[in-house]
């Protein structure tokens, strides 16, 4: 059975006060959940320790980025090994903001996936098309290419460390979202591409990211190939975030 995951990406937001404000209600709400969802909090790296110290049972922690190197003279970077040593279990790789604002290439993303797996982290590989690509009818082709490039170095025994998050670029932080049917179609295409790559496609968790809110989460998560969500702005609001977590079906 695929793991159900809701991951909250705080992006460059937060403070120590916000950690306390968010994590206490998340902890109390999570204790009452019975749908088996795995909750991952991905704060800015400076607040990883604070989130870990909140000691909320059942919450795992991730980082938003790692270096494509294991160690060395790379000022400002953190390695996968450092993230793991600090208590993290997950890392985002290839987020559209990293691709667009920091010019991350497919080769760099593939290297980061490799570093994550070698360090014992689960890599959440983000893929997605722009509005122009969708309108041109090339969305599935673009996403398939990102998958092939980002996962090129994954070994046969490393697939359990991979989660894929589909985040249509045009729906991130815009208030726009793919319809549940459109999102399902892309997730099915992703699973098909993973099978072509030799992955145990039916066992890998696929998340949807792109303006997921409490009012659209249930429709998205009801789809056959959507196993949870990568949540942006809504993860900074405890009640809305937990509403999204509650929307994950108890079984498939």
Kindly list the catalytic residues.
95, 167
Would you state the structure tokens that stand for residue 198, as one six-digit string?
Answer: 């030799």
Q: What angle do CA 20, 18, 96 make, to 5 degrees?
A: 125
Report CA torsion sign: 175, 181, 184, 186: negative
Of 249, 202, 199, 207, which Cα lies nearest the Cα of 226?
207
Is residue 119 within 8 Å of residue 158, measured between CB atoms? Answer: no
Residues linked to residue 104 through DSSP beta bridges, in sequence order: none
Between strands 5-9 and 162-166, the pairing is unpaired
Tokens of residue 136, six digits: 């041109």
> If you ran DSSP here, which 8-state letter would residue 112 be given?
H
Residues 17/26/223/122 CA torsion (nearest 10 deg) = 70
The whole-angstrom separation of Cα 79 and Cα 67 is 5
Q: What is the largest CA-CA distance in the chain?
A: 47
Separation CA 54–CA 121 (nearest Å): 21
CA pair distance 96, 66, nearest whole angstrom: 15
């Amino acid at each position: 059975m695929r793991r159900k995951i809701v991951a909250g990406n705080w992006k460059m937001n937060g403070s120590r006060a916000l950690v306390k404000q968010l994590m206490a209600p998340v902890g109390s709400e999570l204790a009452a959940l019975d749908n088996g969802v795995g909750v991952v909090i991905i704060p800015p790296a400076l607040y990883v320790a604070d989130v870990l110290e909140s000691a909320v049972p059942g919450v795992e922690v991730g980082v938003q980025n790692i270096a494509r190197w294991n160690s060395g003279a790379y000022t400002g970077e953190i390695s996968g090994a450092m993230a793991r040593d600090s208590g993290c279990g997950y890392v985002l790789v290839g987020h559209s903001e990293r691709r667009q604002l920091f010019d991350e290439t497919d080769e760099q993303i593939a290297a980061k996936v490799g570093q994550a797996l070698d360090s014992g982290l689960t890599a959440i590989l983000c893929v997605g098309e722009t509005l122009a690509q969708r309108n041109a009818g090339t969305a599935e082709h673009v996403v398939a290419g990102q998958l092939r490039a980002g996962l090129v170095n994954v070994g046969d025994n490393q697939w359990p460390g991979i989660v894929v998050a589909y985040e249509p670029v045009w729906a991130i932080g815009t208030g726009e979202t793919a319809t549940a049917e459109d999102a399902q179609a892309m997730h099915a295409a992703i699973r098909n591409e993973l099978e072509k790559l030799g992955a145990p496609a039916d066992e890998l968790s696929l998340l949807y990211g792109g303006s997921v809110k409490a009012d659209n989460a249930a429709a998205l998560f009801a789809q056959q190939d959507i196993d949870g969500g990568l949540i942006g702005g809504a993860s900074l609001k405890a009640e809305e975030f937990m509403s999204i977590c509650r929307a994950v079906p108890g079984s498939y």
